Every structure is written in structure tokens, then in C-alpha cells.
Structure 1
Amino acid sequence: MRAVTIRQPWATLIAIGEKRFETRSWATKHRGEIAIHAGKAIDKKACEDPAIKIILTKHGYMTPGDLPTGAIIATGMLIDCWQSFTQEDQVILESAGRMRSITDFEEQVGDYTEGRYAWELDQMKRLQNPVPAKGYLSLWHWEKSSI
């Protein structure tokens, strides 16, 4: 299974289904199963953002130290890769001639600078017991049989 390493709290926001797009500077042609790996770094300033803090607390993550790191924390599906652009001060995503807008929260928790890519994630299943794993750059292979 393909995996992607994501800093915290973004990885957990994806795992709990609150964040549906992971923004990157590069596109991917991969579609299908994907594992979410929480890197070792935690953006503690982001964890203190009121909107993010409320969501994390609602799901039992009271402090940044409660977030799992260095582990696969969820699996799901990568269903599309959209390119980002701005139109009349609104972020618009485009893929194969289709366009869509995003929520204010998604805009807050991603980097939608024009020309970046938003990977659309769906059917996320948070693992009850995170699986320790070393993260890598880009998409990498993870043995699903580990869970």
C-alpha cells in the first residue's frame, strides 16, 4: 500500500475525517488505498489555533503531546488530485476540467497557493493502535499486513 508522511496535527485531522484534502507542491497519479503516516514533527502553534484545538479536543487529543507520531495512524482512499487556483478571492480546485470549491476550514488547514495540488482523501479509518513506522519523502510503500 502507498503511504504518505504528514506532520501533526494535519495527519490526525485527516485520520479523524475532519480534513479531506492534503496539499502538496506536486501532483500524484496514484488513486486507491493510502496509509497516513504521522511524522515525528508536531506544529504546536497550529494545535493552539482555536478551530483546530476544538476539533482535536472533541476527539480526545487534549495537548499536542497526545498526538501519535512516527506511526501509521489511518488508512483510506486517495480519490483525486486537484490543482489549486484563486478566482475572485476564492480557492478553486480543478481536475480534468471539473471544478469545485472548498470549505473555509479546509482552506485554513491547507496551503492552497495557486499551482499547488490538493489530494482528495476519503473513507479514512483511524487505526485503534498506531503502527510504528519510519516515514519517507514522497509516496512510499508500506506493508499493510503490519496491521
Structure 2
Amino acid sequence: MKALTIWQPWASLIIAGAKPFEFRGYRAPRAIIGQRIVIHAGKMSVARDEVSDMIGLFDLYPDAEETKEMCLHRDLAVPVLEDFLAGNLPVAAGIGTAVVGEPRSGLDIAADFGVARANDSNRDEHANWGWPMLEIEAWPDPVPARGMQGLWRWPDATTFAEMI
């Protein structure tokens, strides 16, 4: 099974169902479309100020274009973002799985959310393609593992001990 390392809180937002798309600058490889992948919460996280600003936007301007551009489901996202600020999200661990759907243009996704652009961060070059995250399965406990950039092979039981 392949794994995808995603910074927190984005990884946990996917597992919570608050982030229906993983935005990337490239289309998902054909080999993983329709396949279940591990969502790995990377060791790195986004800046706390960025997350505080997101919560502030949701609170002050729930229907503003800037809020909708994040393509997050507010009611599911805010508790995860608050957990991030409290230091309660796992890092350097697999936290669940998702099936990768057929990738969609970021512009098409934006139209679904009623905005001109779709981006869940301040890095526009990473929002060209949205990979639908479907059939989410949260793991009851995080599984510690070192991640890698891009897609990588999740270890099976015989190689897992070597990774931690």
C-alpha cells in the first residue's frame, strides 16, 4: 500500500472528513486512483499563526470568499484546527487511510465551492489539482513511522519495525 505524507493539521483534516481534497501541483498518478493509501501525518506542521488565522476567518467571515477558498467543511474543520493549536494532533505517524478518487482541476473544485480559486494554503502552485479523498478510515491509534516526500511504500509488518 502506498502512503502520502501530509503536514498537520491537513492530514487530520482529511481523516476527519473536513478536507475532501488533497491539493497538489500535479495530477495523481494513474496507479493510485481508486486505490486505498495511508494518510501519514508528517513530522513538520504548518505555522500556528496560519491555523489561528484560519479559525478567525471561519469565526468572523463564515461565508466570505477567503473562507470558501480553503475548500474545508467548517463544522468538521474547526475542532481539528483547535486540537492542532492545543498540540493534540499526532505527527510522524500513519493516522488512517483514504481511497484516492479521480483528480479534478482546482478551478472546477473552486466552482463547486462558489469561488474563483481553490487553495487550502498560501501556496497557489500546490492547488492545480485536487485529489478526492474518499472512503476515509481513521485508525484508532496513530502508527509511528518516518515519512517521505511524495508517495512512498507503507511498510508491511516485517519491515515496519525497521522504520521506527
Q: Considering the TM-score relative to the shorter chain, is it more than 0.5? A: yes
How far apart, CA to CA, are the structure 2 residues paired with 1:14 and 1:114? 16
Residue type of the alignment partner of 2:101 = I
Contact 1:73–1:126, Cα closer than 8 Å, also in 2? yes
Give the total of aligned pairs: 134
Q: Which moved more, 1:48-57 or 1:127-136?
A: 48-57
- Mapped pair 1:127 → 2:130: no
Label 1:115 to 1:12 Cα distance change in 2 as closer, same or farther (>3 A): closer
- Structure 2 length-normalised TM: 0.68
- Aligned counterpart for 2:148 among listed residues 111, 118, 136: 136
Q: Is the 8 A contact 1:42 1:64 kept in 2?
A: no
> Partner of 1:102 in structure 2?
112
Which one has a larger percent strand, Structure 1 or Structure 2?
1
Q: Percent identity?
A: 27
Cα deviation digits, residues 84-104 of structure 1 (max 9, x gap): 3xxxxxx325xxxxxx83326
The separation in 2 between residues aligned to 1:79 and 1:142, in whole angstroms, is 19
Determine which structure has the larger helix proportion and give its number: 2
Q: Aligned-residue CA RMSD in angstroms?
A: 3.1
The residue type equivalent to 2:10 in the other structure is: W
Q: Aligned runs of 1:43-54 on 2, under 5 Å?
A: 43=46, 44-48=48-52, 49-50=54-55, 51=58
**Structure 2 segments unaligned to the other structure (5+ residues):** 59-71
Label 1:16 to 1:115 Cα distance change in 2 as closer, same or farther (>3 A): closer
TM alignment of 1:41-120, pairs within 5 A = 41-43=44-46, 44-48=48-52, 49-50=54-55, 51=58, 55-57=77-79, 61=83, 63-84=85-106, 91-93=107-109, 101-103=111-113, 107=118, 109=120, 116-120=128-132
Runs of 4+ deviating beyond 6 Å? none
Residues of 2 paired with 1:71 and 1:58: CA distance? 16
